[in-house]
Structure 1
Amino acid sequence: MTSSIERMNTPPVVSPQAWEAAREQLLAKEKALTHARDAMAAERRRMPWMVVEKPYVFEGSSGKRSLVELFDGRRQLIVYRAFYEPGVFGWPEHACRGCSMVADQVAHLSHLHARDTTLVFVSRAPQADIAGLQQRMGWAHIPWFTVTDSFDADFGVGEWHGTNVFVRDGDRIFRTYFVNNRGDEQMGGTWNYLDITPLGRQEVWEDSPEGYPQTPPYKWWNWHDSYTADAEPDRKWALVSDAGEAAFRKDHSR
């Protein structure tokens, strides 16, 4: 009996030496792509800002919240519009399948919080339905608010999903970035979210405008239950990360 893989037009099977050579060839292209992605993020950090003037209001589990209150005291805000409302396929048991896959990929939010960044989801569904959905699907960790006005229409997510990014200076709010369609596919991980923010990962290796907050890489990383605001890096972790970074740089300088 012929196996399913034998009916596929698969690549050739080669020796370990030939496999390593092919991997090195591809790795060079992958590194170029990584550098291009870093350059794109640097350009993104230099995008112009747009002031947000309307007083948008959302409904949360504890009552009404303004857009500035969605920041939860942090400097940056990422807002994903998830389709969960009457008329969406799956309602009321489920949200849009694509939006649900995005929610399933959201990493622990403490890492974003450590970089002064808040992530929230917004939908048109009432809070009671959203709370039930979160519990049923394991999304209780994601702050999820109800849109009550023209926010979705004003920010390009009235008819489709999308991710908007904002930064604030006190109570003054600016829109800094927007991505939708296949651009949303990469969302969910901490690094990808930080890369679309105006301040980026806030690490010293990044190409950011003068005066932007930056700290050494690795040092701010922590277990998600161990972040302490304004704490100095753990001394033992600093030594470990220094050694790891030195080995990484040596290996990748060849």
Structure 2
Amino acid sequence: MTASDEKGTTGAQSEMRTPAVVSKDEWEAARDALLVKEKAHSRARDALAAERRRMPWMAVKTDYQFEGPDGKIGLLDLFDGRRQLIVYRAFYEPGVFGWPEHACRGCSMVADQVAHVAHLNARDTTLVFVSRGPQEDLARLKARMGWDIPWFTLTDSFDTDFGVDEWHGTNVFFRDGDRVFRTYFLNNRGDEQMGNTWNYLDITPLGRQELWEDSPEGYPQTPTYKWWNWHDSYVADAPPDKKWVEISTAGEAAFREESAKKKL
């Protein structure tokens, strides 16, 4: 019997073929079977991120310029002193549907999903959006929509040179002193998953920077969970909070013990 049969629904709803309604034990067995595939998917995703961290880099030799709230700045300035930079090309400019009251619907949905950037900043990573709309219009749009993402105006061929002149996309860059390298790019459905802190870090050359990751030798890594903080409490060069370290360590130990029991 389906859920629809159980409820006795009629009309259009009754045409929806819902899964079977089963007992608690049957449901848990089905969930455990699917969990095997989900874990395999997670391991495959981690392996893909590890391979991404080993991709070759492309040197960026043009000093691209952008307009910001305080005037003109260069590509190096977008890093805001950090080593990694993620640039999402959003469409908010004349000719885009919704202008000037709204940005593109899809780009707006991406902006709505972005987690607090302080967590990325804590991993030496800066996230910015870029569009061709003027700063005064961008400021009004951000205030209306409640977006705090740093957002800059394109002024040259950056969008054309990096494949985002006619469609949205996310470019990733790494800074070594004054040298800038392009390390990764995604668009289309690849952009659908973005917004989550972890997904952003997974497309960067340094990754999440946690000990469990498969990263090249010498890459920065710290214990899992220990660096996490409230978004208003990150302080540069501050050691992890002692109490949080104790809590996370205890949590990890309990998880390992429970996992060991399930394998018996």
Partner of 1:193: 200
Partner of 1:252: 259
Task: Select which of 37, 54, 60 maps to 1:52.
Answer: 60
Q: Which segment drifts farther, 79-88 or 244-253?
A: 244-253
1:26 maps onto 2:34 in alignment: yes
Normalising by structure 1, report the TM-score: 0.97
Task: Select which of 157, 174, 182 maps to 2:181.
Answer: 174
* Structure 1 unaligned regions, length at least 5: none
1:132 maps onto 2:132 in alignment: no
CA distance in 1, matches of 2:210, 2:13: 45
* Structure 2 unaligned regions, length at least 5: 1-8
CA distance in 1, matches of 2:236, 2:14: 56
CA distance in 1, matches of 2:39, 2:256: 14
Task: Select which of 80, 93, 96 maps to 1:72.
Answer: 80
Please tell me the residue identity of whatever aligns with 2:193: Q
Please tell me the residue identity of whatever aligns with 2:58: M
1:209 maps onto 2:201 in alignment: no
Q: In the TM superposition, what whole-angstrom CA distance separates every residue of 1:104-125 from its partner, at most 9, and x where no partner exists?
A: 0000011000000000000011
CA distance in 2, matches of 1:249, 1:125: 51
CA distance in 1, matches of 2:12, 2:233: 48
Task: Select which of 14, 17, 36 maps to 1:9.
Answer: 17
Please give the secondary structure, in 1, of the residue aligned with 2:172: strand
Q: Indicate the percent of aligned positions where both proteins have the same amino acid.
A: 76
CA distance in 2, matches of 1:9, 1:60: 53
Residue 4 of structure 1, CA deviation: 5.0
Q: In the TM superposition, what whole-angstrom CA distance separates every residue of 1:96-139 from its partner, at most 9, and x where no partner exists?
A: 10000000000001100000000000001111111111011111
Partner of 2:227: 220
The root-mean-square deviation of aligned C-alpha atoms, in Å, is 1.0
Matches within 5 A, 1:224-243: 224-243=231-250
Please tell me the residue identity of whatever aligns with 1:114: A
Please tell me the residue identity of whatever aligns with 1:58: F
Normalising by structure 2, report the TM-score: 0.94
Task: Select which of 126, 151, 154 maps to 1:147.
Answer: 154
Q: In the TM superposition, what whole-angstrom CA distance separates every residue of 1:2-59 from its partner, at most 9, and x where no partner exists?
A: 1654321111110011000000000110000000000000000000000000110000
Matches within 5 A, 1:80-119: 80-119=88-127
1:120 maps onto 2:119 in alignment: no
Runs (4+) of structure 1 exceeding 6 A deviation are none
Aligned length: 253
The structure with more radius of gyration: 2
